[in-house]
Amino acid sequence: MKVYEANEIRNIALVGGAKSGKTTLAEAMLFEGGKIKRRGSIDEKNTASDFREIELDKGGSVVTTILHSEYNGRKVNIIDTPGTADYVGEVVPALNVADTALIVVDAHEGLNVGVELAWRNTSKLNMPVMFVINQMDHEKANFEETVSQLQNAYGEKVAIVQYPINQGSEFDTVIDLVYMKQIKFKRGGGDAVFSDIPANELERANELEKILIEAAAEGSEELMEIYFENDTLTIEQLREGIRLGIAKRSYFPIFVTSAKECIGAGRLMDFVINSTPLPSSHPREANDGTMFYCDKSCPAIAFVFKTEVEPHLGEVAYFRVYGGTITEGMDMINSHSGSKERITQLLVSNGKAREKVEKLHAGDIGAVIKLKSTHANDTLVDLAHKELSLNPIVFPNPIYTTAIKAVNSTDDEKLGSVLHDMHKSDPALRVYYSRELKQLIVEGMGEQHINIAKWYLDKIYKIPFEFVAPKIPYRETITKQAKADYRHKKQSGGSGQFGEVHLLIQPYFEGYKDPTEFPVRGVDTYDLTWGGQLIFSNCIVGGAIDARFLPAILKGINERMEEGPLTGSYARDIMVYVYDGKMHPVDSNEISFKLAGRHAFSAAFKNAGPKIMEPIYNIEVSVPEEIMGNVMTDLQGRRAIIMGMGAEGHYQIIKAKVPLSEMHRYSTTLSSLTSGRGTFSMDFAEYAQVPGDIQNALLKSYEEESKDE
């Protein structure tokens, strides 16, 4: 296969809603470029993109697929992404390494939730965008309405480059404003026929061409001067202006296709090659501030944006070259792990079909297998620059959390290992064991995302398991002073156990005052790992307890704070004053005082006005204005406190504080309320006291659980 220079390469990501035809469009582009001899289809389950068992089972894209085609001596790397919001973890890496996003729009659905989500994802990354209105052959295709919706939503910068002559079931002809020609496509692909624009279309074409030329002229001052002087631009100048406008997000061109009939795919690739940003326009920053602009004279450096485990092959790492040249047999360093990796087989992919290549220059996308310890978000760099590391992809925070446990405890270790391997392939799926909750936690971008993990566990790994609601990390504290004492005494032949502890506890707060009834002889302050503080004060006088037993008392108190007296949750913000006690010259030991301290603390805690604190999260919900009322009502039912509202384009932004205990499966509810158009993010805000009725219910529940155990 030919080795391409950076200026001969274009990297595009196909994004948009499910069922918009992204995979079918990719198939048409591969066919037009001669990379496949026969086009597959979703119905026949034989496309280049959807080759995985899970995709064949579910009938649609679940995983991002790396493809490439060749057209007019140029290479187009195509990244086909899933269209469901829950799979945003697949979309974000694609947008990070592509140079232009092609938002594929369904011609009969128009501006739907998939388009809105794709636009938001590209906007966050300031990503160059063009629109492809697909399925123009649908009997209900409506080009004019779709364009109107896009322009109303995203402004007049959304401009027509092509428009159809005969949309609907007979669609095969467009007016192309770059070439200023009518193009008639052959159904099934192949050479198109260019002809003069018919007289009845000439006025409209001239008007739209003028808009296009003016937009292109705004790409640079030089082009603007040429336009003012000549009142037009050459086709080369027009292409350059369009490229500059797309790169600056000041211009969003519209193309039309019927991917199913292979209409327009070749011309689309022609436009991508001639009028979209080059790889050098999408640099990546390194940890030392260096920007890599895909220059092959720079050190060899590649960013791994995706890894995937394939049956009979092992882990495949997909990377983009940002500097230098990667060659087969080359030794490189993983700058994250420090491990040395050899590029044993250098590949370019079309789904599961791959071609070997000897080298890849900066700007290109490739794959390698049999790396030892390199995964998504790692950097591979030549041996002379091992300190360089490209900045990682920032994934969105998870919005769906569940706990998971194996049906058979003997499978616990295997379940955890499999889930951690899934995380390596899908960094948006997060897995960890919560020591506090004593649960294995799985976090993802929605219920469908979590169900992908379920599919693999059921179908591939065959581990019996169940999802359970995650426990809430409550906190326990006190509101007033209380005293308690406890004597631990045990005699069982020989030396026994004896320890007696008297202590006082009070709540910790800024500006606190020590009690005056006994002297404070020593103070230790501990910042608790779970938040808050423990202040431990020695107030012993007269040697009632030997100082060597104080660490044991503290250990007993710490153990009880790790499993609070009310609900077993962490306790925090407490001051402890050990002021008296007794010991035995023979039977006193550390275990005796640890137990005495633990029990004295528990008794005092329950008499000190104990309260349960719950985690409160800041939540920001983005919803269309017309359905904001339903979302507000639902939030208020979740004990939310509305903090403010604002607008972002055609969406309303609701800001609120909500207890975490009320947010389980909220992503599913929001999707249902908004038909998938609503999105939200959340982050921890504070701990606040739970209402009295909820505290009583928690105490009762914990008491019943303790009895059962």
pLDDT for 120 beyond 90: yes
% of the chain exceeding 70 in pLDDT: 99
What pTM did the predictor assign?
0.90
Cα gap 198→205, rounded to integer Å:
10
The pLDDT value given to residue 119: 95
CATH, domain range 403-471? 3.30.70.870
Cα gap 503→517, rounded to integer Å:
12
**Whether the Cβ atoms of residue 387 and residue 335 lie closer than 8 Å to each other:** yes
What are the pLDDT digits (tens) for 528-570? Answer: 999 999 999 999 988 899 999 999 999 999 999 999 999 999 9
7-199+254-281 belongs to CATH 3.40.50.300: yes
Q: How many residues belong to the chain?
A: 709
The pLDDT value given to residue 626: 87
pLDDT band of residue 311 (cuts 50, 70, 90) is confident
The pLDDT value given to residue 430: 96
What mean pLDDT do residues 285-298 have?
A: 94
pLDDT for 308 beyond 90: yes
Cα gap 251→15, rounded to integer Å:
18
pLDDT for 190 beyond 90: no
Q: What is the dihedral of CA 225, 226, 231, 235, to 10 degrees?
A: -140
The pLDDT value given to residue 258: 98
pLDDT for 143 beyond 60: yes
The pLDDT value given to residue 116: 93
* Range name among 64-68, 499-503, 627-631, 638-642 with the lowest pLDDT average: 627-631
Angle, helices 235-247/199-217, rounded to nearest 10 degrees? 60
Give the pair of three-digit tokens for residue 283: 């640099």
CATH, domain range 613-694? 3.30.70.240
What mean pLDDT do residues 689-708 have?
A: 88
Angle at 270 between CA 80 and CA 52, to 5 degrees: 20
- Each domain of the chain, given as residue ranges in start order, spans 7-199+254-281, 284-385, 403-471, 476-609, 613-694
CATH, domain range 476-609? 3.30.230.10
pLDDT band of residue 350 (cuts 50, 70, 90) is very high
pLDDT band of residue 708 (cuts 50, 70, 90) is low
Across the beta sheet with 173-176, the strand order is: 162-164, 173-176, 181-184, 193-195
Angle, helices 235-247/221-230, rounded to nearest 10 degrees? 140
What mean pLDDT do residues 166-193 have?
A: 96
pLDDT band of residue 476 (cuts 50, 70, 90) is very high
The pLDDT value given to residue 651: 86
What are the pLDDT digits (tens) for 400-454? Answer: 999 999 999 999 999 999 999 999 999 999 999 999 999 999 999 999 999 999 9
**Whether the Cβ atoms of residue 449 and residue 395 lie closer than 8 Å to each other:** no
pLDDT band of residue 389 (cuts 50, 70, 90) is very high
The pLDDT value given to residue 196: 97
pLDDT for 466 beyond 60: yes
pLDDT band of residue 709 (cuts 50, 70, 90) is low
The pLDDT value given to residue 650: 77
pLDDT for 342 beyond 90: yes
- Ordered DSSP codes for 320-384: EEEESEEETT-EEEETTT--EEE---EEEEETTEEEE-SEEETT-EEEEE--SS--TT-EEEEGG
What mean pLDDT do residues 472-485 have?
A: 96
pLDDT band of residue 314 (cuts 50, 70, 90) is confident
Nearest to 178 by CA among 208, 223, 217, 148: 208
pLDDT band of residue 364 (cuts 50, 70, 90) is very high
What are the pLDDT digits (tens) for 224-262? Answer: 999 999 999 999 999 999 999 999 999 999 999 999 999
The pLDDT value given to residue 573: 96
pLDDT band of residue 493 (cuts 50, 70, 90) is low
Same fold, 7-199+254-281 and 403-471: no
Angle, helices 235-247/265-275, rounded to nearest 10 degrees? 80
Q: Average pLDDT of the chain?
A: 94
pLDDT for 668 beyond 70: yes
Name the class of domain 284-385.
mainly beta
